[in-house]
Amino acid sequence: MTEPVKVRRLTDQEGQQLQRIVRRGSTNTVRYRRAMMLLASAGGNRCR
């Protein structure tokens, strides 16, 4: 099994931008899912 990928710590501005994408429920599904994965990884949660 491969090692989990982790992202670096996000700046406040980056975190806010990702949260806006998630809260708005972007019509672009790929963008929404990527934002969710980045927020989860930066928060220390595992992404499957």
Per residue in 1-35, pLDDT tens? 677 777 788 899 999 999 999 999 867 899 999 99
CB atoms under 10 Å from CB of 29, counted, come to 8
Number of separate domains in the chain = 1
Token pair 């994408």: residue: 21
- Tell me which of 43 and 32 has the higher pLDDT: 32
pLDDT band, residue 48 (cuts 50/70/90): low
* Cα dist from 41 to 3, 8, 20, 27, whole Å: 13, 9, 17, 22
* Cα dist from 43 to 10, 27, 28, 29, 31, whole Å: 9, 24, 23, 21, 18
Domain coverage including residue 2: 1-48
